[in-house]
Amino acid sequence: MGRTVFWTSVAVLFCALFQAAILANIAFLPVVPDLVLLVVVYVSFVNGSTVGSTTGFISGLFLDFLSASPIGLNSFTKPLIGFVAGKFSGSFILSPVLIPMGMGLVATVMKAATTLVLSLFFGSGILAYRLNGEVLWLEILANSLCAPLIFGVLGFFPNLFSTRVKAVE
């Protein structure tokens, strides 16, 4: 588990820096896809809820320190999503396109719902998504479109991102 958490943390750090430094500064992108969320969902689905929660918390800490969000917001939402995605580990076969897109969509909706609930408790310090606003729907679209790419890239390195050892036949 330690090796998987380490390599996932490296991938998450890279994605967080790429997301914050490059994608956030591209003028024609209306929203920034949450690549870190997609990495957490992939690792959680492949390894289970324990690894998902752990990598979600570590990735949340990275994002909390790199973004303008309140400290602890991402450290709460990412492990929660990692835990839920990990509960579906082994439930179905990971197809190349449709399942990752669906998982990206569901994870983004969970992130928006969790942020909305937290904003009810903590007020204006947390910016919540508006259901009728275009930002939520564009982020759902962006994450759904990026999910097959992220899942595909991480799938090339099963020894780094999976704790499950396949039997040699």
pLDDT tens digits for 99-135?
Answer: 999 999 999 999 999 999 998 888 877 878 888 888 8
What is the mean pLDDT of the segment spanning 82-98?
A: 89
Can you tell me the distance from the alpha carbon of 18 to that of 88, in angstroms, rounded to the nearest whole number? 28
- Tell whether the model's pLDDT for residue 94 goes beyond 50: yes
User: Residue 165: CB partners within 8 Å, gap ≥ 6?
Assistant: none
> Where do runs of H (alpha helix) occur along 22-164?
35-47, 49-66, 73-87, 98-122, 134-155, 158-161
**What confidence tens digit (pLDDT) does each residue in 13-29 have?**
999 889 888 888 887 77
Question: pLDDT for 29-62, tens place per residue?
Answer: 788 899 999 999 999 999 999 999 999 999 999 8
Query: Is residue 156 classed as helix, strand or coil in its secondary structure?
Result: coil
Distance CA 137, CA 113 (A): 13
Question: What domains sit in the chain, N to C, each tagged with a CATH number?
Answer: 2-159 (1.10.1760.20)
**Coil vs helix vs strand at 133:** coil
Q: Which of 74-83, 87-96, 152-161 is the most confident on average?
A: 74-83
Confidence (pTM): 0.91
Query: Would you place residue 169 in the very low, low, confident or very high pLDDT band (cuts 50, 70, 90)?
Result: very low
pLDDT of residue 168: 45
Q: Give the model's pLDDT for residue 93.
A: 81
Report the alpha-carbon distance of residue 57 to residue 143 in Å, rounded.
Answer: 20
**What's the whole-number mean pLDDT along residues 150-155?**
93
Angle at the Cα of 2 from the Cα atoms of 47 and 88, rounded to 5 degrees: 10
- Decide: 105 and 56 in contact? Cβ < 8 Å: no
Nearest to residue 61, comparing CAs of 52, 48, 71, 47? 71
- Give residue 125's pLDDT: 76
Contact of 74 with 35, CB cutoff 8 Å = no
Q: What count of other Cβ atoms lies within 10 Å of the Cβ of residue 28? A: 4
Instruction: Tell me the average pLDDT across 59-81.
Output: 89
Give pLDDT, residue 167.
Answer: 41
According to the model, what pLDDT value does residue 166 have? Answer: 52
